[in-house]
Chains A and B, each alone.
Chain A
Amino acid sequence: MKTLQILLLAFGLYGANAIAADYVIDKKGMHASIQFKISHLGYSWLWGRFNDFDGEFSYDKNSPEKSRVSVAIRTASVDSNHAERDKHLRDDRFLHVEKYPESRFVSTAYEPAGDGTAVLKGNFTLRGVTRPIEIKVKFIGEGKDPWGGYRAGFEGKTRIALADYGIVKNLGPASKELDLFLAVEGVRKDK
């Protein structure tokens, strides 16, 4: 395999610049997180996260506009560090995880601003509802890791309205929207 890569490289068919590299979110090492915060009564932030998700992205620094991202979240893995609240979040008034076990984001466009930030557009599916959203993305860095691999990482932030996804339980006027934070590190797939 290595020999083949070297050969291909030698013939200029395997240029890193020619093809956008595909990355898998580093789930094994968990260098990624999907977190959210929502106002509690307007007095403080309640933070939670999803412990189980998977995803891939494609990124090439020379043509970042071609970047693509897809992430799938297992909704039952919601964790707000409180057993009874998590039970509520999983039941039908909130995530309804039995009926909608997966939430998903699939990008449709990546619009780099030129300063390492970008707007990532895509369709977000939650609780069976799919809506277009925009994620503000910041490229963090890329390069070789100490163990023979190649990595790239981003962070992203977006805000969604709970009612847009059919979550209508009244948590108070300050708690109608939720901020989602994504931090992903991808390991480049071997060609």
Chain B
Amino acid sequence: MKPSFITNTRSSYGLPAIVFHWLVALLFIGLFALGLYMVDLDYYNAWYNRAPWWHKALGIVLTVLLVIRWCWRLLNVVPAPLGLDRHWQYLTVRVVHQLFYILLAVACVSGYFISTAKGSAIDVFDWFELPAIIQLDESWQAWVARIHEWSVYFTAGLMVLHSLAALKHHFINHDKTMIRILIPIKPEESDG
């Protein structure tokens, strides 16, 4: 495999960046759906305990994935946005992409605190237990729950905009914005 398939260039995403992007996207969608489903479960439902168990363990997986993805982003160049000619458009793209990282980090951290607020550890697939680090009083418990909820709804909203923007680039602007996050494309000559 050519080096350009691994690392990003000014015009293309490498394979790891693409895989990270879709893993995070799928995990987030799965966790969001599972979260909405589990909060309304009947007490006698067989999933009443099982759904939160999966939600918490997968949340930890997402957290680890986000950290690795963030490190990978720092080690790589970020491909330049395509088809934008105004300063505010560049700024919007930058803010939205950064917000994804920030909101997902907030969602992960607040989720951790919801479960560990009174000293209980989080069971990660019966594999290991992630211990509590601090205990929160009841008003903080209420706040982390609110923050968790708001951050995931905000992320879901951004995801819809992000997807619509990708489709617009593909079908209206006819550029490679969407294709290059699906497969590693051949970098432009000018990338050297």
Q: Do A and B bind each other?
A: yes
Residues of A whose CB lies within 8 Å of any CB of B are 76-77, 81-84, 86-87, 90, 169-172
Instruction: Tell me which of B43, B44, B116, B141 contacts A87 (CB under 8 A).
Output: B141
Chain A residue nearest to B138 in the complex (CB): A76
Cα–Cα distance between A50 and B100 once the two chains are bound (Å) = 40
Give the 6 A-B CB pairs with smallest separation, nearest first. Answer: A83-B117, A83-B118, A76-B138, A171-B43, A87-B145, A170-B43
**Across the interface, which residues of A come within 8 angstroms of B138, CB to CB?**
76-77, 86, 90
Chain A residue nearest to B145 in the complex (CB): A87
**Across the interface, which residues of B come within 8 angstroms of A77, CB to CB?**
138
**Across the interface, which residues of B come within 8 angstroms of A169, CB to CB?**
43
18 residue pairs of the A-B complex, CB under 8 angstroms, read A76-B138, A76-B142, A77-B138, A81-B118, A82-B118, A83-B118, A83-B120, A84-B52, A84-B115, A86-B118, A86-B141, A87-B114, A87-B145, A90-B138, A90-B142, A170-B42, A170-B43, A172-B43
**Across the interface, which residues of B come within 8 angstroms of A172, CB to CB?**
43-44
Cα–Cα distance between A63 and B42 once the two chains are bound (Å) = 51
Cα–Cα distance between A170 and B145 once the two chains are bound (Å) = 23
**Across the interface, which residues of B come within 8 angstroms of A171, CB to CB?**
43
Cα–Cα distance between A84 and B145 once the two chains are bound (Å) = 10
Chain B residue nearest to A98 in the complex (CB): B142
Q: 1/0 per position for B28-45, CB-CB distance to A under 8 A?
A: 000000000000001110
**Across the interface, which residues of B come within 8 angstroms of A82, CB to CB?**
118, 120
**Across the interface, which residues of A come within 8 angstroms of B142, CB to CB?**
76, 87, 90
**Across the interface, which residues of B come within 8 angstroms of A84, CB to CB?**
52, 114-115
Cα–Cα distance between A172 and B142 once the two chains are bound (Å) = 27
Extra contacts besides A76-B142, A82-B120, A170-B43 (7): CB < 8 Å: A76-B138, A82-B118, A83-B115, A83-B141, A84-B52, A84-B115, A170-B42
CB of B37, distance to nearest CB on chain A (Å): 16
Question: When the two chains form their complex, are residues B141 and A170 in contact, meaning their CB atoms are under 8 A apart?
Answer: no
Q: 1/0 per position for B116-150, CB-CB distance to A under 8 A?
A: 11101000000000000000101101100100000
